[in-house]
């Protein structure tokens, strides 16, 4: 076939035909399947992975012996493992074993409430039950158990159903699990609002956000973490309006945030995250391995931050580190990634070393750790199915994470709130 004699339209048709034949050949040989499989797996990022296990020189740690022994048993032998008769000797050995007791039991209690009549109120009154929510047949232990499995251990409803059936012989529907969570959420609503007020009084707050889904719609989950309080907010906005609504426009503390531009409009004092900053410089170093200025800039920036963390020990103030940073930024850089980082630091120069003169962190890692549990739950369950479920998630996740932060028992907090509501 003389290709030079063919027209443009005939050449296009010929190329399309050849490409179709090539795809069919690849499909028959299995090339397309292998290419798709290779796209599913991420490439190995670390060329030299760390050696697993403890570091050299690290002392081994064993489980401490229990202080209390509940039961003692003596074991004897009549024959050896091969069936021969054995003779008793004076030597004995001791071995301590810790184990769990699996109790599969449902406790059903029938309450008989004695009625009374109050002459002054002119109405009948009955004693309050604190072991169950009002108009809910299942007890508080059940409700707390479901909440902990859902929000702390990230279990979907079908696995919680299976867990209750296998461990307790209790058969419930998923609607019952949702109602239990909703009942606890309604009980803890005032506690959630109290946590928001405590955030405003705090000296600092870590803020971070991540994507969230409610009935297939994309929203944003915001996490606010102070010294001993965590608040979760789910909203369709990803702007400065959400932090202002939670903290107020007159917030007197310091907001520790990353480089997201929405935080620029906050009127409060801000501390930018150094972990994000050094991560960007490290990325530039890896992206341009032959660039000497990228390597030097990253090492200088990281060294400056490491020294600033020890400011109190070396008796250096904020001005000292700001002057060092100015000298670093005074150099001329041609690397495009380094130029971007330099512009960001210049724009937020007054927000880089606030942590040196105040007792706060220089990174936003606290918010990253607090939001990690929500990211895992999102990957497992996909978010919420309704706006009511979204509100329940805000309340219970906030209270549960705050309890973990304060070393409090979530069940005790729920019971205290139930009793205070009944007394009120």
Using CB atoms within 10 Å of the CB of residue 2, give its burial: 0 to 12 exposed, 13 to 18 middle, 19+ buried.
Answer: exposed
Q: Which residue, 357, 360, 269, is CA-closest to 318? A: 357
Residue 42: the pLDDT is 60
Q: Which residues contact 189 (CB under 8 A, 6 or more apart)?
A: 395
Q: Quote the strand ranges of 162-306, DSSP E.
A: 204-214, 217-225, 230-235, 254-257, 269-272
Cα dist. 134→131, 137, 145, 422 in Å?
Answer: 10, 8, 18, 10
Using CB atoms within 10 Å of the CB of residue 308, give its burial: 0 to 12 exposed, 13 to 18 middle, 19+ buried.
Answer: buried
Q: Which of 51-55, 67-71, 75-79, 224-228 has the lowest mean pLDDT?
A: 51-55
Question: Do residues 162 and 169 make contact, with C-beta atoms less than 8 angstroms apart?
Answer: no
Place of tokens 């990228």: 294
pLDDT band at 11, cuts 50/70/90? confident
pLDDT band at 10, cuts 50/70/90? confident
pLDDT score of 343 more than 80: yes
User: Backbone dihedral region of 103: left (phi > 0), alpha (psi from -120 to 50 degrees) or beta?
Assistant: beta
| Packing angle, helices 174-187 and 140-147, rounded to 10 | 100
Find out if CATH 3.30.110 is the number for domain 187-270+364-423.
Answer: no
Cα separation, 219 vs 214, whole angstroms? 7
DSSP assignment of 7-57, as one string?
-HHHHHHHHHHHHHHHHHHHHHHTHHHHHHHHHHSPPP--SSPPPSSSPTT
pLDDT band at 27, cuts 50/70/90? confident
pLDDT score of 46 more than 60: no
b or e along 382-420 (b: 16 or more beta carbons within 10 Å of the residue's beta carbon)?
A: ebbeeeebbbbbbbbbbbbbbbebeeeebbebbbebbee
Q: Which residues contact 404 (CB under 8 A, 6 or more apart)?
A: none
Residue 104: the pLDDT is 74
> 3-class DSSP state for residue 234?
strand
Residue 304: the pLDDT is 94
Mean pLDDT of the chain: 89
- Which tens digits make up the pLDDT trace of 350-384? 999 999 998 899 999 999 999 999 999 999 999 99
Residue 45: the pLDDT is 57
| Packing angle, helices 8-29 and 31-40, rounded to 10 | 80
Residue 359: the pLDDT is 84
Residue 313: the pLDDT is 75
Question: Do residues 159 and 167 make contact, with C-beta atoms less than 8 angstroms apart?
Answer: no
Residue 107: the pLDDT is 87
- Which tens digits make up the pLDDT trace of 184-213? 999 999 999 999 999 999 999 999 999 999
- Which tens digits make up the pLDDT trace of 238-267? 999 999 999 999 999 999 999 999 999 999
The mean pLDDT of 308-334, rounded to a whole number, is 89
Place of tokens 């019971």: 415
Question: Do residues 360 and 203 make contact, with C-beta atoms less than 8 angstroms apart?
Answer: yes
pLDDT score of 229 more than 60: yes
Question: What are the φ and ψ backbone dihedral angles of 202, each rounded to 5 degrees?
Answer: -70, 160
Place of tokens 């915001």: 222
Residue 128: the pLDDT is 86
- pTM, rounded to two decimals: 0.80
Tell me the chain's radius of gyration from C-alpha atoms: 32
Residue 26: the pLDDT is 72
- Which tens digits make up the pLDDT trace of 60-86? 778 888 889 999 999 999 999 999 999
pLDDT score of 4 more than 90: no
Using CB atoms within 10 Å of the CB of residue 58, give its burial: 0 to 12 exposed, 13 to 18 middle, 19+ buried.
Answer: exposed
Question: Do residues 267 and 247 make contact, with C-beta atoms less than 8 angstroms apart?
Answer: no
Residue 242: the pLDDT is 95
pLDDT band at 51, cuts 50/70/90? confident
**Tokens representing 5?**
């004699």
- Which tens digits make up the pLDDT trace of 133-179? 888 889 999 999 999 999 999 999 999 999 999 888 899 999 999 99
Bridging pattern class, strands 269-272 and 230-235:
unpaired
pLDDT band at 48, cuts 50/70/90? low
Residue 177: the pLDDT is 95
DSSP state of 351: G
Bridging pattern class, strands 230-235 and 217-225:
antiparallel
């Amino acid at each position: 076939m003389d290709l030079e004699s063919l027209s443009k339209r005939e050449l296009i048709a010929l190329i399309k035909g050849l490409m179709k034949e090539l795809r069919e050949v690849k499909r028959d040989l299995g090339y397309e399947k292998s290419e798709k499989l290779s796209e599913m797996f991420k490439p190995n990022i670390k060329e030299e992975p760390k050696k697993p296990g403890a570091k050299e020189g690290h002392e081994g740690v064993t489980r401490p012996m229990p202080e209390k022994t509940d039961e003692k048993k003596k074991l004897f032998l009549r024959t050896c493992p091969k069936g021969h008769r054995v003779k008793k000797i004076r030597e004995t050995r001791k071995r301590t074993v810790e184990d769990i007791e699996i109790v599969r039991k449902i406790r059903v209690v029938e309450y008989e409430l004695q009625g009374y009549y109050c002459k002054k109120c002119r109405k009948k009154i009955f004693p309050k039950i604190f072991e169950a929510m009002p108009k809910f047949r299942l007890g508080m232990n059940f409700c707390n158990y479901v909440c902990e499995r859902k929000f702390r251990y990230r279990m979907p409803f079908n696995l919680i159903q299976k867990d209750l059936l296998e461990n307790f012989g209790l058969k419930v529907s998923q609607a019952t699990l949702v109602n239990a969570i909703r009942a606890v959420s309604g009980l803890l609503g005032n506690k959630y609002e109290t946590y928001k007020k405590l955030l405003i009084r705090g000296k600092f707050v870590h803020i971070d956000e991540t994507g969230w889904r409610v009935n297939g719609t994309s929203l944003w989950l915001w996490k606010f973490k102070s010294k001993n309080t965590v608040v979760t907010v789910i909203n369709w906005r990803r702007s400065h309006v959400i932090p202002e609504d939670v903290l107020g426009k007159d917030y007197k503390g310091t907001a520790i945030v990353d480089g997201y531009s929405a935080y620029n409009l906050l009127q409060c004092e801000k501390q930018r995250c150094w972990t994000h900053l050094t991560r960007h410089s490290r990325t530039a170093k890896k992206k341009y391995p032959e660039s000497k200025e990228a390597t030097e800039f990253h090492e200088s920036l990281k060294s400056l931050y490491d020294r600033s963390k020890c400011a109190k020990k070396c008796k250096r103030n904020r001005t000292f580190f700001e002057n060092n940073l100015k000298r670093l930024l005074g150099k001329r850089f041609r690397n495009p990634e380094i130029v971007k980082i330099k512009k960001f630091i210049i724009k937020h120069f007054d927000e880089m070393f606030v942590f040196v003169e105040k007792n706060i962190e220089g990174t936003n890692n606290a918010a990253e750790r607090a939001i990690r549990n929500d990211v895992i739950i999102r990957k497992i369950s996909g978010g919420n199915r309704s706006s009511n479920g979204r509100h329940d998630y805000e309340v219970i996740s906030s209270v549960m994470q705050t309890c973990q932060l304060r070393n409090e028992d979530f069940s005790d907090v729920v019971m205290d709130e139930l009793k205070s509501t009944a007394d009120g």
